[in-house]
């Protein structure tokens, strides 16, 4: 057998069709994936759910033409690995898309890399069932009614309210109870760049505002963690965890995000900035402790990935994680994203793109066993 072909499967990157720009999703990301794979000697193309016909001889896919700076349509052989990059949950929930993903996962000769998005509530359920990960999870409940919110607030006077299917800080609120203030209840709602705060003597008044903001989206309510700060701004850690060429979870990189002024999250589009985690941790806990802390953080992230995979009963290939370190140096889990966004740190970015293909080779090799 030709060993080159054996180790380098045909990889199709899956998304959904778009009337205007060929296909949906972050074009730059698709281009980077295509170019990295091609450079590494893989045959890579982008395919839409509509064009992926598993029974036909060839598949209509897109490749990027550097000279014309645009995507080109060609016919390709059927892929051995399908890397799912359907860009958001609503597309992924469509019946036609679900049927296709189901077909892929049952097809012989094809491996699905990345089964789909996580839901924040499910993540917490999964992580609570293991001794090793339980202690990392802030107390979390589903937002249901005023009285249960009141109860939660009496135990944890600082709460985060987050949409279960949210991302990039959208829809996040903070609720605080400060008994020695006249306006004891304080609600902060994150808007695009700034946040707005409402104060009230009673929770029931704020409840209406919370309901209006939440709309029909399911929310979780979560114990707020006093994040460690640098120059008075809170920060958290973003880790990228991917399976490597041997199929083992491994930390591709750790970044830090320092909150922007007036933001209740650390997201860069909301004024947050990219920082070196070692620098931030050292400023607080000293350089020696920080090296040890970072190693512990990495091994914990791998444990989290394993437990998420166990909980979901599906095989995943990569995930990003938001972890917080509190003022006492204790680690907390905030969320994991099954379809990581691009990391801005060039080293992490490069490594992450290469790993997609290294793990694809592993998947294709496993299939032949
Ligand atoms: N329970 C919490 N306590 C303190 N900070 C939190 C908490 N939950 C979230 N955050 C902050 O808000 C950010 C966004 O929350 P996250 O759960 O990652 O939602 P999103 O999906 O919108 O990114 C986190 O990176 C962290 O900085
Ligand atoms: Mg996040």
| Tokens standing for residue 189 | 């709602």
Other Cβ atoms closer than 10 A to 87: 18
Spatial contact of 319 and 337, defined as CB atoms under 8 Å apart: yes
C-alpha 105 to ligand 2 mean position (Å) = 28
Is the pLDDT confidence value at 6 over 80? no
Q: What value does the CA radius of gyration of the chain take, rounded to a whole number of Å?
A: 22
Of ligand 1's listed atoms, the one at least distance from the Cα of 120 is 17
Nearest protein Cα to ligand 1, atom 22: 169
| Whole-Å CA distances, 240 to 305, 311, 340, 343 | 10, 19, 8, 8
Binning pLDDT at 50, 70 and 90, where does residue 4 land?
Answer: very low
Which listed ligand is nearest to 237 at the C-alpha? 1
- Positive or negative, the CA dihedral 310, 314, 317, 322 is negative
C-alpha 353 to ligand 2 mean position (Å) = 20
CA distance 71 to 260: 37
Nearest to 140 by CA among 121, 155, 119: 121
111-113 and 173-177: which strand pairing? unpaired
Is the pLDDT confidence value at 1 over 60? no
Q: What is the pLDDT of residue 368?
A: 65
Q: pLDDT tens, 161-193?
A: 999 888 888 899 999 999 999 999 999 998 877
Chain centre distance of CA 151? 30
C-alpha 168 to ligand 1 mean position (Å) = 9
Of ligand 1's listed atoms, the one at least distance from the Cα of 235 is 27
Spatial contact of 136 and 300, defined as CB atoms under 8 Å apart: yes
CATH code that applies to domain 120-136+226-338? 3.30.470.20
| Tokens standing for residue 86 | 């359907």
Specify burial of residue 145 (Cβ count, 10 A radius: 0-12, 13-18, 19+).
Answer: exposed
Percent of the chain's residues with pLDDT above 70: 98
Q: What is the pLDDT of residue 261?
A: 79
Chain centre distance of CA 331? 18
Q: pLDDT tens, 209-235?
A: 999 999 999 999 999 999 999 999 999
Q: Which CATH number fits domain 3-115: 3.30.1050, 1.20.1080, 1.20.1070, 3.40.50?
A: 3.40.50
CB-defined site of ligand 1, < 6 Å: 138, 160, 162, 166-170, 172, 222-225, 227, 236, 265-266, 322, 324, 334-335
Q: pLDDT tens, 141-155?
A: 999 999 999 999 999
Of ligand 1's listed atoms, the one at least distance from the Cα of 171 is 22
C-alpha 167 to ligand 2 mean position (Å) = 6
Of ligand 1's listed atoms, the one at least distance from the Cα of 138 is 1
Ligand 1: which of 122, 141, 162, 227 to mutate, most ligand atoms within 8 Å of CB? 162
Specify burial of residue 161 (Cβ count, 10 A radius: 0-12, 13-18, 19+).
Answer: buried
C-alpha 53 to ligand 1 mean position (Å) = 39
Nearest protein Cα to ligand 1, atom 11: 265
CA distance 237 to 282: 14
C-alpha 169 to ligand 1 mean position (Å) = 7
- The rounded mean pLDDT for the chain is 93
Q: pLDDT tens, 43-69?
A: 999 999 999 999 999 999 999 999 999
| Tokens standing for residue 9 | 């499967």
C-alpha 333 to ligand 1 mean position (Å) = 9
Ligand 1: which of 265, 268, 275, 277 to mutate, most ligand atoms within 8 Å of CB? 265
Spatial contact of 26 and 342, defined as CB atoms under 8 Å apart: yes
Is the pLDDT confidence value at 195 over 90? no
- Highest averaged pLDDT of the listed ranges 3-12, 270-279, 290-299: 290-299
Q: What is the pLDDT of residue 25?
A: 95
Q: What is the pLDDT of residue 194?
A: 78
Q: pLDDT tens, 298-345?
A: 999 999 999 999 999 999 999 999 999 999 999 999 999 999 999 999
CA distance 41 to 361: 11
Q: What is the pLDDT of residue 320?
A: 97
Ligand 1: which of 160, 224, 327, 328 to mutate, most ligand atoms within 8 Å of CB? 160
Specify whether the backbone of 25 is left (phi greater than 0), alpha (psi in -120 to 50) or beta.
left
């Amino acid at each position: 057998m030709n060993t080159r072909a054996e180790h380098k499967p045909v990889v199709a990157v899956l998304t959904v069709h778009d009337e205007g720009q060929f296909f949906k999703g972050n074009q730059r990301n698709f281009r980077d994936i295509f170019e990295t794979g091609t450079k590494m000697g893989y045959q890579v193309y982008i395919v839409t759910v509509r064009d992926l016909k598993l029974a036909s001889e060839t598949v209509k896919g897109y490749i990027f033409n550097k000279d014309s700076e645009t995507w080109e349509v060609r016919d390709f052989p059927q892929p051995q690995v399908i890397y799912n990059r359907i860009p958001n949950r609503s597309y992924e929930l469509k019946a036609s898309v679900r049927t296709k993903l189901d077909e892929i996962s049952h097809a012989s000769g094809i491996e699905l890399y990345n089964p789909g998005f996580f839901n924040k509530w499910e993540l917490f359920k999964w992580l609570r069932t293991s001794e090793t990960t339980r202690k990392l999870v802030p107390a979390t409940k589903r937002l249901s009614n005023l009285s249960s919110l009141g109860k939660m607030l009496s135990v944890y006077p600082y709460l985060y309210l987050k949409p279960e299917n949210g991302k990039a800080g959208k829809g996040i609120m903070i609720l605080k109870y400060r008994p020695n203030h006249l306006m004891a209840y304080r609600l902060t709602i994150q808007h695009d760049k700034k946040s707005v705060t409402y104060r009230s003597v009673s929770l029931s008044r704020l409840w209406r505002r919370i309901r209006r903001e939440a709309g029909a989206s399911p929310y979780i309510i979560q114990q707020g963690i006093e994040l460690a700060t640098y120059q008075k701004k809170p920060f958290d850690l973003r880790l990228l965890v991917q399976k490597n060429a041997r199929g083992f979870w491994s930390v591709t990189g750790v970044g830090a995000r320092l909150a922007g002024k007036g933001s209740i999250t650390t997201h860069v589009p909301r004024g947050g900035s990219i920082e070196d985690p070692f620098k931030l941790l050292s400023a607080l806990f000293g350089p020696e402790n920080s090296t040890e802390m970072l190693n512990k953080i990495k091994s914990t992230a791998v444990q989290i990935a394993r437990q998420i995979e166990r909980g979901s009963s599906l095989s995943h290939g990569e995930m990003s994680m938001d972890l917080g370190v509190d003022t006492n140096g204790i680690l907390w889990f905030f969320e994991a994203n099954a379809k990581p966004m691009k990391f801005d740190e060039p080293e992490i970015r490069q490594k992450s793109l290469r790993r997609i293909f290294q793990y694809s080779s592993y998947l294709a090799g496993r299939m032949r066993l």
